[in-house]
Amino acid sequence: MTDADAFPSFRLAYVPGVTPTKWVRIWNERLPDVPLTLVPVTAADAPDQLRGGGADAGLVRLPIDRTGLSAIPLYTEIPVVVAPKDHVVAAVDEVSIADLADEIVLHPHDDILVWDSVPGLPAQDRPATTADAIELVAAGIGLLIVPQSLARLHHRKDLVYRTVSDGPESRIALSWPEDETTELVKEFIGIVRGRTVNSSRGRTPTPAQPKKKRPAAAAARQKPAAGARTSRSGSGTKGSKKGKPRRRS
């Protein structure tokens, strides 16, 4: 037996913007003897982190290089545009790509949205990261389109974000090495899919309780004899009449 078998643990990688808190809580409730360690990783580095054994599974952004990896899509995020609080965008609930045609839209090198054509006017230089782009938006240099969770992650009081109605969405998935679908990976798959602890694939399902049989004697007492009539009123036999009460003398 190896140390890993004697003291099991689970390492979960996650990319910026993803919040695994709910799933970690459920894991700790169901498997208190197996510690779960969170491993923050950039969206670009996540596939190599999984293939290299740096984590047992990861919450990643699609698309990714699926070589040697399995993946289950979990949910989709809408895109939003981040703008200064006094920008005209702040006055509306949502905008379209066409509405941003005359705006400088920053396109950081770590952008995870897939564009057929980058919207707006290009900035003089591309910021290295989304965090750098946020700083430029706050300085009034341009706007930025990101998944909603990243806008929340980099929230500032001097900035707002609004939905982009026709922008590309971002899909979040659970991924793991396809040749290492361990029992612990299966456990986490069940958690993110909403499988209950008593489901057929749960780790500690509650055994079904056998139905209790009534004693033969009790069943015989409750079963009417063959040919016997039962009264609907529950008193007397069919056709019987109740006697009149006698008057006291």
Secondary structure element (H or E) that encloses residue 50, with its range: helix 46-51
234 falls within a domain: no
Same domain (yes/no): 145, 71: no
Residues 88 and 147 in one domain: yes
For residue 176, the enclosing domain spans 7-76+171-192
113: CATH:
3.40.190.10
What pLDDT score was predicted for residue 195? 84
Is the residue at 94 inside a domain?
A: yes
Q: Quick one: 175 and 55 in the same domain? A: yes
Q: In this structure, is residue 180 part of a structural domain?
A: yes
Any bridge partners for residue 167, and if so which? none
| Within a domain: 208 | no
pTM here is 0.75
Q: DSSP letters of 198-227? A: TSTT-SSPPPPPPPPPPPHHHHHHHSPPTT
- The verdict on residue 110 lying in a domain is yes
28 and 57 fall within a common domain: yes
Please check whether residues 184 and 64 belong to one and the same domain. Answer: yes
Q: Pick from 158, 192, 226: which residue ends a domain?
A: 192
Query: What pLDDT is stored for residue 224 in this prediction?
Result: 52
Give the pLDDT score at 212.
Answer: 54
Q: Where among 168, 183, 209 does a domain terminate? A: 168
Q: How far apart are CA 90 and CA 245, in angstroms?
A: 89
Token digits of residue 88: 């005209």
For residue 22, tell me if it sits in a domain.
yes
Total structural domains in the chain? 2
Same domain, 142 and 187: no
Identify whether residues 131 and 188 lie together within a single domain. Answer: no
140 and 93 within one domain:
yes
- pLDDT tens for the chain, 249 residues: list them: 444 455 689 999 999 999 999 999 999 999 999 999 999 999 999 999 999 999 999 999 999 999 999 999 999 999 999 999 999 999 999 999 999 999 999 999 999 999 999 899 999 999 999 999 999 999 999 999 999 999 999 999 999 999 999 999 999 999 999 998 999 999 999 999 988 776 645 454 444 455 555 555 555 555 554 444 544 444 444 444 444 545 544
Looking at the fold, whether 163 and 87 belong to one and the same domain comes out as: yes
For residues 55 and 99, membership in a common domain is answered with: no
202 domain-assigned: no
Q: Where are the alpha helices (DSSP H) in 128-226?
A: 130-138, 148-153, 183-192, 216-222
Residue 244 counted as domain residue: no
pLDDT value of position 230: 45
The pLDDT of residue 238: 44
69 and 178 part of one domain:
yes
Q: Are 176 and 129 part of one and the same domain?
A: no
Please report the pLDDT score of residue 8 as a whole number: 87
223, burial (CB in 10 Å: exposed 0-12, middle 13-18, buried 19+): exposed
Cβ neighbours, 10 Å, residue 10: 19
